[in-house]
Structure 1
């Protein structure tokens, strides 16, 4: 199927390719447009920069001369001759006419100070007199000579001068000798201290030709000057400001925009004076830009035409070349699969449909094989675990048939036993389907976790989930612990299923799988000692190999007596800690067997019962019926359960003893006090002797006595002896040596030291005083 024979259709891949190639051809077009726009912007910026430079020169020249006029107006306002005529009123006297002549002479001098000034007028409102450099007139004549526009009335003109203070520029028309000319008027008021007195106004008239005489326009551009109110001040091209020179278009300090003047496109550049607020505008024909861009435009147009032509030819060539392989592939698929290809349809869609049909058929076949393969593969793995290998089939063929590729000859086996089915055992009964589901989840999780670092194969035998681990490179026993821990955590976190894991040692060869399986079974049986929910390694078992210590039994008589003392005093925390230490010593160093461990727990229970019998608890029978320690401990299946049960029994017993002691909290201290007062004369009286008498350890006895009386037991013994010694010293009938022996001190030096410690003086000094 060739490109020439194939009809172009909107669904065909050819259309998509052509659109893609054409889209690529648009890239140089867009780039050329961007280059043209950038070039236009550069040319425009350069021309605008030249115009702005011209306008800045004009602005600086005009602003400089206007600033000179404003300074001159200030000087004139301070002139005594000009300000002195303000108070003159009508009619004028000869003296007044003389002053007018003097003022005119001064004005001629002021006029020569600045070339921009065409005429100077001083309008005195009080006398309605206007003095110029040539003559004097009245306000009506000044109105006819200078006003802003022809339509302005005298009253409107007069209101401008009636303002209290004037200092501003205004465009006017100057009429002299029957001719009119555009000009600019700068008006500044002369004000006296008396606000009621009408003032005077100085008027400077500047012709627009003066403003523009030193400025030459460039690039056939026109120049215009506008004041702050956007009124035309001066222009070299038109009498009135064009409509486009409105305030909104000239709102910024400077800028550039395009407009039309007499039907011709112009580029308008403007800038604003900081001192006067006037706007200086340059208008250049837009065709000047086109002249500068014509050459660049021609080059870009030619490059675009060449790019489109050559790109079109290349696109057609590659479309034809790239379509031939697809055409051959479609022809091959249609002839072999029997699925016809409709001319003009989408080729990719046809290929996708054909491949989907092929993959779907393959998946159906694979699913049918997989259902049988799982059972066969599981049976094969169970044979490896139990040492039942098929003799007629070589091992490597069996492994290949079950898609098992071994990395190394080193193996280990992990077993998982379900202790509690969690969410699946909410009613106390596990549905067989849910039980199989839990087993399936455990095997999949174990295979995924172990497969992260090594190869893993899972199966189920005798309701125990088995994971065979084939190490890849490093034989790391710690990795097995990590796998077991992750599987246990996942099942507990997601399904509340509690597991016990058993781990074998590492063995070499396929025959070693059977040995590893037997080791893991032995480790799982040790769950009775370690408790459910644990990870049990075969290497940690007492019988794992030669050199392992055999189980011992640790529960000496002095430890039992210490536990009895703790229980008698109701100290649950210390009693529980001591029981935990006994269990840890028996289990950690050389783990006990299950029967021996139960004997240990029964011994502990017997100790509790003997203690309760010795202390004579008031509610002992009731406590035994409520706690029922014998039945609770014999019903335990693991040492961990027995540890929990013995802790609960111990807590209840200690709490009962504590309740009895609360009824007579100070009984021990009173008994000890009575005993000390009775035996203070004995040389053998000490804390150890008292503890043996009350069947308590010396440290515990001292602590309890201090807690109940607030006084140390040894201090109480010394004080009791010293009280009797002071009584005997007062009788004066005994020697100090004899008194020391009578109060229990065999050594007189000890007696002297203790006496001085508590009384501050020696016994002999005390005897002298009393």
Structure 2
């Protein structure tokens, strides 16, 4: 621990050296403009410093008032007050009270980044409690919080030997949760002197110092905040060990003084809230340098260097963390509070945490089961509307919805309840729901193996028939017999009047929307009679000249063009043309209307192809809209343009896939030594879901992500085994494995021998 602390301190020193060099370079500013601009710059600087200092004072007063309010509320909390009298926190029901008290503490860090953390220390029982943590005093000081240069006994004496009322401990370096901070400690005592306690809030001193840096203290200057007794609370550019603040001849407001041989411009203000003094001092010679652009250049370089230094410091702090600590940080901390006697070591802690995760997984699975009916309803709605462009999407949706539809023939029948007409009131809707529920139960009870019922709302139900018959004619015969049986059974059982409109037979689920469209067409356009309540699309004839182009067919065409599926698009267009040709000849006016609808479809496809070159498609729309052009020629031209746009989308999709593949592989090649590299990280890099990244990576490379990553790590491990003398454990860590055991199993699985044998064999060869 000491070694790690020493390395971090060394990094901090190296971090601040470049800033000091940059600040000292400001003294090289020329003297020529000083005499002409000094008065103006001095005046403006004083005003600016006063304004900024006042803002800092007001902001800090508000923050301190919030912290004091938090401490006051915590000290008056009944659970806190009552726990001060507990002497044995682990006896009887006290562990539950301890757990309940910890759970009641609000984590103010989520909303107030000014606070590093806070804890409640009880003198009577020696317990230290903060959000997410419960420790004894020794555990807390050893594992959580450690003041530099302060022993545990000195710290305890500072906490409990004095009654604290709004006491502030000046900025002090600490190690908290394994990280280095500079904190101002606010302490507020509560309860009785013998059995009370102290609420301590750790205030981020670095944020206070960052506020002081807004005063723009240049080279040789300083800024500080002192309490009413003259003790330093926070500062920048000042060594409190070598200066007596009370000896500084500050007079309030604006003043000048000679300090360390330099003339300083001093701005001072006092807080009416707590009597603290805010002082900023700048060398007069440096202030005059701000007259020209050098000030902006210096500040820009300073800020950039500060940001870069913080990033570098964070990187090295991250790399220095131990892998085992990373594992512990990934696990939940609540398990240690349930039974502190059982969790005696880290292994027990990990075991208990994994058990908790399993319980949560089971609870989540139960919630997903509750949502299963809704998922199935959404799936059927999308399927009937033609929302799936490939069987892979359908199969994935079937798996998520837990539906088995493995058949070779499909058809959709729309069942309409007779006797109900819009507008519907609440009583009618309730009655229809009851009737539909009875119909659904009756069908699923006897025909669940070949019929799926889906509610379409109001007085409609969709029956999806499926069978493994190879021949569609045989399936149609079965369907006719089955529908007659369903009709007779339902009308006899429920007493409801029904109409059944059946669509055609389809061989693929992605084409089921066609059968649904045909069933809707029959329902809307057929002449219904009580003597013939079951009608089939293949049996009806159109009595008026019209073209076939329903809205769901158009939506399907737009989706296919957008997805770049040329084969499906071409087949879909051919089927549309066949529907509108066949044995009948469309009137010229109807054919022209059909051409205008295709123009609208092409425009919709162009609107969805944002950023693409659509000049050719726009020109096609203009030509096809010309009344001089024959409608048949316009339709052919529009179909060709839709296929052309589909090809463009396909090429753009392929280009995007290649770019994404190269980017993912390049990311893996760079970050494979990182142990946390997984599908979640890769999905965040690609800005998409884990499932899609997994499917996409396997499709593009032919390997699973885990296999690809293991191959790269094994290749690098074998190179290091042969070319370096590093221990196997160090090689395992350098190629991304958290433990030697995991690396050894992976190496033997991939190469057939252990890493030690691999090195020995090649050295012998």
Q: Same fold (TM over 0.5)?
A: no
In terms of Rg, which structure is larger?
Answer: 1
Q: TM-score, normalised by structure 2?
A: 0.30
TM (normalized to structure 1)? 0.30
